[in-house]
Structure 1
């Protein structure tokens, strides 16, 4: 069985090693060093990882993020490359479920922040996995969008989301749709058809979590 969480992790750490700690990413204000620190905290510091989603804990999480980011670059990358087996999100039982989409997105965050990036041709099984995640992501990210929005991944399926109203169509490969729906709209290659005002609103919405 393919281990896409592992292969995306390895590709990301290799790319960050090549680019160095100060390369840009699609995550606003973050360099590769900041992204690496985020990944380390997510897997190794559950006491701080909660601050990613919970505002009352955010100040503490940001302080720990700065402390981890200050580690030696080689050590930081090694911690990303070799997650602890006790981690709730990267142990052998949870790795594929918790990390395939996470590391695919962050790999693309680094790739697509570089001037010469090109879309990758992904393995079919990885596309299928990303579409399974993407359908749920679409329902979560677009449940309140003021349109009847058809999200299509040709060859994989489609899902209708939104609050209803004027029709809108968003189409692309599963990988492009996952990136779009996670807030990376401007760095994706998708088709978006419908009333221009709604298309612009969708492309400019804050869809990240």
Structure 2
């Protein structure tokens, strides 16, 4: 079932609140990234993707891109967060991609920030957002996982099985939809899941790849 735009707005609003509460220097689980770097990544992805390649542009274009990035970084934190609260339009490429993916980018990166803080706990997300996360698992898992084992992902919303060529065995991974989304994206250090499987399949999991 497709979730409403309201659930998407709720996630963005909550994420913006977390940014404001923690401030620009708060850590994330992403190596070398603080909250400011994460927000910049989201800003560029949604509003100025050309600036993500600024260092590869030729002379004058690179200079203008660097100047634009510097202006953004000099903007007060509260204004940067306020800009983030406004989602990209539904007709934009990123808007369409996020609608298709169930807002996976926001869900994952919000947890990148939340779960780097002392005393964090998994949050209960509304049913519509859980459906978003579970849909994102189905879309992301075949792209994000390269594991020589048959993997069955099991959540309260159902199961998804991914078969591998020349499989070494089978695995079952149990968790809430958001936890499985984090696990599929390679965030083992914070994903609250339970993994069960044959020894050879568990070794294949350690040797495989997850994440984009």
* Band the TM-score falls in, shorter-chain normalisation: 0.7 to 0.9
User: In 2, distance between residues paired with 1:114 and 1:201?
Assistant: 31
Does the residue aligned with 2:152 lie in a helix, a strand or coil? strand
User: What residue in structure 2 maps to residue 88 of structure 1?
Assistant: 93
C-alpha RMSD of matched pairs (Å): 3.0
Distance 1:77-1:141 versus aligned 2 partners, 3 A rule: same
CA contact (8 A) 2:154 2:174 kept: yes
Instruction: Provide the C-alpha distance between the structure 1 equivalents of 2:6 and 2:98, rounded to a whole number of angstroms.
Output: 9
8 Å CA contact 1:8–1:104 kept in 2: the answer is yes
Query: Unaligned regions of 5+ residues in structure 2, if any?
Result: none
After superposing on structure 2, the runs of 4+ consecutive aligned residues of structure 1 that deviate more than 6 Å are: none
| SS of alignment partner, residue 151 of structure 1 | strand
In structure 2, relative to structure 1, the CA distance for the partners of 1:64 and 1:110 (3 Å cut) is: farther
Q: Structure 1, unaligned stretches of length 5 or more?
A: none
Match of 2:193 in 1: 190
Give the structure with higher Rg (CA). 2
Question: C-alpha deviations, 1:77-99, integer Å up to 9, x for none?
Answer: 12211245474323xx6653356
Pair 1:19 & 2:22 matched = yes
Q: How has the CA–CA distance of structure 1 residues 136 and 45 changed in structure 2, closer, same or farther, with 3 Å as cutoff?
A: same
- Tell me, yes or no, if structure 1 residue 77 matches structure 2 residue 52: no
Task: Compute the displacement of 1:70 (Å).
Answer: 4.3
Given the alignment, which residue of 134, 139, 145 partners 1:136?
139
Give the alignment of 1:146-161 within 5 angstroms: 146-161=148-163
Q: Among 97, 118, 125, which residue is 1:115 paired with?
A: 118
